[in-house]
Amino acid sequence: MPQPPPTDAAQVVLRSPDELRRWSERCRAAGLVVGLVPTMGALHDGHRSLVRRARAECDRVVVSIFVNPTQFAPGEDLGRYPRPLERDLAMLAAERADAAFVPPVEAMYPEGTLTTVRLTGPLVDSLEGAARPGHLDGVATVVTKLLVATRPDRAYFGEKDAQQLAVVRRIAADLDTGVRIVACPLVRDADGLALSSRNAYLTPDERAQALAIPSGLAAAARAWAAGERDAGRLAARVRERLERSPGLVPDYVAVVDADTFHEVADAARGCRIVVAGRMPSVRLIDTICLGVDAVPAVPGDSEAPNEAAERSNQAPGAAEWSRPCSVS
């Protein structure tokens, strides 16, 4: 029987899809459950939550760190995307990830590559798909390659990138992969901003203005908790807050079905509000799952007393943050 690979991430750094495949095959041949956590690195506590979840549920965990060029449009931040590899590997070792997959671009897209993965329809034509042409196809291609090379039992994705998650769920199902896609809740910083590797670009002033996003989501979530179900009025609550930040240009605010990303008129529990906006130095996205996610807490956020009462009575409490991730 093959020996299972060692469990110290510092010792297992895989550099090519072939190495990844062989590592994973050894794990599976030993009867071990393999978990995959795809990332672009510059790891933060959002990524950490995925790794911890995978660690808790799988015998072996591999985390990929790959700044995937095919999901960046010309003019986006591919060149300056942060790449603190040593720090990332140290974090993965501390979280007891078993392996890191850190391929160079040529290993993922060797010369002569012709195959890409492309979804069609409203899920990929709207919102992020419309704002960043080609982005979701790039994500679909790299995620498919990672799933094919690893053949994991489970793969972990954050609800922060809710549309990406919906795309990945479709890929996993449509291509009969058998991989369980595990969705993990969005993690926020202490000031309410959704954690993102790109937050490092924000100046202090931009960061203060960016808080309009979680603040807007919080206002809408409080309205929802108080009984508002009209999607247009909920979106308007978010937009009102965004308008208070002149440096923030909204790309979209929408209330959508979490699986199809069709816009809804009535915001039932489980629907998502999704927001994207551009600051001079960065584009930000955020989301909340209505009736499920905690209301984002933004220090100094103005909140009417009756709203506060409704929030403590009706909105989900802190326990929601530790709710089990949903699995498809």
Catalogue the active-site residues: 47
Cβ neighbors of 3 (< 8 A, separation 6 or more) are: 26, 30
Contacts of residue 258, Cβ cutoff 8 Å, sequence gap at least 6: 162, 166, 270, 271, 272, 289
For the chain, the farthest-separated pair of C-alpha atoms sits apart, in whole angstroms, at: 65
| Pure H helices in 175-296 | 204-210, 212-225, 231-243
Which residues of this protein are in contact with ligand AMP, per CB under 6 A?
Answer: 39-40, 46-47, 49-50, 157-158, 160-161, 184, 186-187, 194-197
Query: Is residue 293 a contact partner of residue 188, using CB atoms and an 8 Å limit?
Result: no
- Which of 242, 230, 226 minimizes the C-alpha distance to 304? 226
- Residue closer to ligand AMP by CB (options 196, 231) is 196
Which of the 8 DSSP states describes residue 194? Answer: B
Q: How far is the CB of 328 from ligand AMP (least distance, A)?
A: 14
Of 196 and 245, nearer to ligand AMP (C-beta) is: 196
What tokens were used for 309?
A: 């009462």
Q: Which is nearer to ligand AMP, 49 or 209 (CB)?
A: 49
Cβ at position 42, least distance to ligand AMP in Å: 7
Residue 177, classified by CB atoms within 10 Å of its CB into exposed (0-12), middle (13-18) or buried (19+), is: middle
Task: Show the tokens assigned to 318.
Answer: 């802190």
